[in-house]
Structure 1
Amino acid sequence: MSCAPARDPGNRSSVRVAIASRIFEPEPSAASFRLAALANAFSEAGHEVSVLTVRPVRSQRDDSDRNRRYRVRRFPVLRDRTGYVRGYLQYMSFDVPLFFRVLFGPKRDLVVVEPPPTTGFFVRLATALRRTPYAYYAADVWSDAAASTGAGGAVVTVVRSMERFALSGARGVLSVNAGVSERVRELAPGSRIHTVGNGIDTKVFTVDGPRHQGGAYAIYSGTASEWQGAGVFIDALERVLDEHPGAKLVFLGQGSDWPELQARAARLPAGAVEFVPTVPPATAAEWIRGAVVSLASIRPDSGYDFAFPTKVYASLACGTPVVYAGAGAVPEFLRTHQKDARVGESVGYEVDTVAKALSRAFANPPSRTERERLGVWVAERVGLDAAARNAVRALEGHPQ
């Protein structure tokens, strides 16, 4: 059964699709890339698409919306001190107007909603009143994230209830990997789950292109939250500096753990750790290309063992191998594909083992040939377009 009713006769019925998200291009994030790919895939399949999202910060505004094959409808929103739509007041500033935008806006045949669960909660209410089906894009399990960051029991209970409410009312749930699918199944047993995969925009994150010239540095790009435990890399770098005195660690992006990371970095020599706020995707790709190695982590026992950080895909697509510390699905991925290309290595979440991996990376940076081979290998396997087409086929009711 399809998630959306047919409007026009023919082999492939055209439907009116809305994608609702508090973040979208040009704001750089994994969700932005993934949802833009989904909107393109729906449009290529002949559907009428509109994106209900937010107005970006002034520094990121451009005219890209004019060149899209779908319509983007933007609304002002509250942001935190870093310019990110994060925090319950910020979420409500998007979710409450969205409720009315869906309730009183043009009739749609399907709404695809992106977390947080508060957005899913309001979309379920609005679409129920409009008698419109919706799909929930489970790129993450937010209640598990709340629990892993030490949120109070009452907060976790509320978030989990809202997430379960959003999942259980969806006509279909799009999941990025098998681990997320399993957690969704546990939270909302009756959900119809489609594991569509994930990836990265291989038109932006490529081996070819400018490289940041910043000496020998390792890079941790994207979001750094408490459950990821990126502080282990700062502690490891302190040991690496004796052997590689010119080595540096760059944090590129933002995240709730940045104040703690900055406090740890203050113990190291000046310039050993650099923090670069969020930059446009093309600039982020320059930083990743120029790095000796890229870093990613998931702190063990955080309740997030099912996660697969998208920064891993972005790094490999730029030809930069990864050192990964901790739990999750990444270790098996790296072990499985080490014979195919120089993807990097997975190590335990201990300062000593991470320091040894960093030392190996600085001592043996990837060659141009290794980078090119890695970039080609990734482009063939983890492009976002394939995941987006899987999602469209699933919501159309076609087998993947």
Structure 2
Amino acid sequence: MATTDPKQFLTRIFEAAVAGSDPELTIRRHLPKKPKGRTIVIGAGKGSAQMAAAFEKAWDGPLEGVVVTRYGFSAPCERIRIIEASHPVPDVNGLEAAKLLLEAVSGLTEDDLVVALVSGGGSALLPSPAGPLTLADEIAVNEALLASGAPISAMNTIRKHISNIKGGRLAVAAHPARVVSLVVSDIPGDNPALVASGPTVPDEASRQDALRLIETYRIALPEAVMSHLATDAADAPQPDNPRFARNEVHVIASAAVSLDAAAAEARRLGVEAVILSDAVEGEAREVGGVHAAIAREVALRNRPFNKPVLILSGGETTVTLRARGKGGRNSEFLLAFAIGIDGLSGIHALAADTDGIDGSEDNAGAFADGSTVARMRAAGVDAKAMLAGNNAWTAFNAVGDLFVPGPTGTNVNDLRAILVR
């Protein structure tokens, strides 16, 4: 298959990576002990609806709850209410969802259990502006962060200090009930406190850290936001807060697990696989250039890996917006990669977000090979100009190489798969 149809092979690799983080399998392994009292399910993220559906199937006792997911990412549930809201920029539906989650955990007792189903994307899906701040302020912050090129860990450190629900505050609101957080990690390093800005999981980052990050990445935020961050009211609860003492946190799926599944599938199909890292970060186009250099070295000199080989990596790159083109971090990575392997035969690549959506369009990513740039040129598209304009979607659309699997029900960040034949 790898020789006769590289696109089909790479699609199988993607499917294996997604299956490796299937909520139905991972949730069953981490079911909490049943409580004496009520079981309340809450959740947020691009995989939260599928997690909720899986939890309903696995839990044989009474339960109730509410989760929020991205528009178009819903899944049928009987006892858990599913709300859809906007991602990556918040909207009023997300604001209402945040209120409902806070209401769902209010007035509980120490006999009750709160199960938090958290996955990537929850930061944008749970706007809950703190103090005098407004939804417009949170929208402005999200837009500034998305354009800044800052890593996701930095973005979420800032987000949690302007929120009533992030940074462990949702778990504080649930006290004295026990909170068990089941987390699908899309964060390099898999720190659960950074996934969806940790609504039920605190970390030690302070508002002073948030202010330093704003300065480091030169992020222009509304005056009201900066005024709020200058006050003690922005302080997030710390991990040693006694209200967290009975809680549990489990990372039930991650990029590492998905990459292992992808590598196993490649070997099953007869191709050796190597994993560079599950935590690659940096500017997407620069990471694309580095991956292209590795692929060239293998193709031309059979080092550092013997071909045929599948080179895998995960993590989350960033895009600094220089223009208002169409694209996402995976398609931008891959366009830079395509430029770097232009004219070389025997190299085929797929870069895609495991949640099924890359950026704001309906594709998860795209395919590329050594002929991609030439085919773009024949279609009247200048690959380098498209990369300069953050317009990778338009470039790959012109040659029919977008990858559109639809929503997958999980979110363990990006998968980059490079086949060198």
Question: What TM-score bracket applies, with the shorter chain setting the length?
Answer: 0.3 to 0.5
Give the TM-score taking structure 2 as reference length. 0.39
Give the TM-score taking structure 1 as reference length. 0.40
